[in-house]
Amino acid sequence: MRNTAATAVTAATVALVAAVTGGCGTGAGGTGPAPARTPSATGPATSVPPSAIPSAGPLTVHARSGPLGPLLVDGQGRALYLFTADRGRESTCYGDCAALWPPVLVRGAPTAGSGVRGELLGTTARRDGSRQVTYHEQPLYYFDRDKRPGDVRGQGADDHGGTWYVLDPAGNRVTRPVPSGSAGPGGS
Angstrom distance (rounded) from CA 49 to CA 37: 8
Q: Which residues constitute the domain of residue 154?
A: 3-166
Reported as a single tens digit per residue, the pLDDT across 126-173 is 999 999 999 999 999 999 999 999 999 999 999 999 999 999 999 999
What pLDDT was estimated at residue 157?
97
Domain count, the chain: 1
Whether the Cβ atoms of residue 163 and residue 156 lie closer than 8 Å to each other: yes
Reported as a single tens digit per residue, the pLDDT across 87-131 is 999 999 999 999 999 999 999 999 999 999 999 999 999 999 999
- In-domain check, residue 108: yes
The pTM of the full predicted model, rounded to 2 decimals, is 0.70
- In-domain check, residue 177: no
- In-domain check, residue 183: no
- In-domain check, residue 85: yes
